[in-house]
Amino acid sequence: MEPVQRKQRIFSGIQPTGVLTLGNYIGALRNFKLLEEEYNCVYSIVDLHAITVRQDPTALRKACFTVMSLYLAVGLDPDKSLIYFQSHVPQHAELAWVLNCFTYMGELSRMTQFKDKSQRHADNINAGLFTYPVLMAADILLYQTDLVPVGADQKQHLELARDVAERFNNLYGPVFVVPQPYIPKVGGRVMSLQDPARKMSKSDPEDTYIAMLDAPDVIRKKLRRAVTDSENCIRYDPENKPGVSNLMNILSTLTGMSYDQITLEYGSKGYGGFKNAVAEAVIEELKPIQARFKEYFADKAYLEQVMTASAQRAQAIAGRTMSKVRRRVGLAPTRL
C-alpha cells in the first residue's frame, strides 16, 4: 500500500491597504489559486500588519472585505483553503511576542522594507513597523508552513523567518517547520509604470499601478502612458530597457508567451501596438475576476460565514503550535 503523505502546507498573506494591484495579483494572488489543489493552503488578510502605518478605520474595515472578496473572486475555495482575518486568530500576536524575544535588533535594522517605509512615513516610525517581520514570521511558523508564495520583495523577510525558526529549534528542539519561499520565476516583481526601477506599489500615485478593479479604459490609458524608452524596439533587457521589459514580463505571465515570441509578434508594431496588446491581455484576465468580485463583495453574510469558519479552523492549528511553544519555553500550561 502507498504510504499516505501529508499534503504540504502553504501560508501567505496580503495587507488590506488601498486597492490591490496587478503586482499583487501576478506576484501573489494568482499563484494562491494555482497552488490550491496541491497543497493545504492558509491565506490570511493581514490586518495587524496594515496598522503599522496609520489607517482610517472605516477604510480599513472596507479594505478587509475587499481583499477577502478578491481572494474568492480569483477562485479560491473556502472549503479547501482557509481565508480569514489575521486579527481573528489571537495566536498570531501571541507568537509574535515570543519570537520578538528571539530576534535581534541588528537583523531587523537591515530590512529594506523597514528602511523604505520609515522614509515614507517619517512622522510615524513606530515599533510595530520595526518588528513587522517578526509578526510575519509568526504568521508563517504558527501553521508549520512548508512553502510561502510571495513576490520577490518579500524574500528578505522570509529569510528572517527561516533564521528565527532555526534559532528557536536549535534551542528547544524541532518545534517549527522551516519554511521555503515560493517566488515565481516569471512575474515575481512587477515594476511601476512610471518608474520601472521601483516595484509597482499600491502606496504610490495612481498612474504608477494598475489596480485589479480598474475599468478597461483606465487600464488602457495607464498602459498607453507607461514609461518606455526612445529605441522603439521590443526586446527583453531589464537593465537597459526596464520599461519595455516590465511590460513584456506582464504579457508573458498572463498569456504564457515567451519573450522571443513577444518580440517576434509585436516587434514590428511599435510601442503603441505592443502597449495595446498588453492592455487587452490585462483586461481579459481581470474581467471575470471583477465580475465575481462584485457578487462576493455584495454578499456580506457569505463573507462573514467564510471568515468565521476559517478563523475557527485556523485557531485550532495555531493553538497546537502555541501550546508546544509555551511548553518548550517554560510558560506554565493554561487550563483555559
150 near ligand LTN (CB under 6 A): yes
Residue closest to ligand LTN, measured at CB: 13
Length of the chain: 336
- Which residues inside 155-184 make contact with ligand LTN, applying CB under 6 A? 157
- Binding part of the chain for ligand ATP, among 3-11, 158-166, 199-207, 300-308 by CB under 6 A, reads 199-207
- Identify which of residues 78 and 151 has a Cβ nearer to ligand ATP in the complex: 151
HEC readout, 153-207: HHHHHHHHHHHHHHHHHHHHCCCCCCCEEECCCCCCCCECCCCCCCECCCCCCHH
- Residue 144 C-alpha cell reads as 508549520
Q: Is 202 a catalytic residue?
A: yes
Among ligand LTN, ligand ATP, none, residue 139 binds (CB under 5-8 Å by kind): ligand LTN
Minimum separation from the CB atom of position 133 to ligand ATP (A): 12
Buried b (16+ CB within 10 A) or exposed e, 22-37: bbbbbbbbbbbbebbe
Q: Rounded to the nearest 10 degrees, what angle do helices 216-224 and 270-298 cross at?
A: 150
Positions of E strands within the chain: 9-14, 40-45, 82-85, 147-149, 180-182
- Identify which of residues 23 and 179 has a Cβ nearer to ligand ATP in the complex: 23
Which residue among 33, 155, 202, 324 is the active-site one? 202
DSSP assignment, residue 297? H
Interface residue with ligand LTN among 35, 50, 72, 148 (CB under 6 A) is: 148
Single out the residue of 237, 336, 230, 220 nearest to residue 284, CA to CA: 220
Catalytic residues: 117, 199, 202
Chain positions contacting ligand LTN, by CB under 6 A = 11-13, 15, 46, 49, 136, 139-140, 148, 150, 154, 157
Chain positions contacting ligand ATP, by CB under 6 A = 14-15, 17, 23-24, 26-28, 150-151, 153-154, 188-190, 199-203
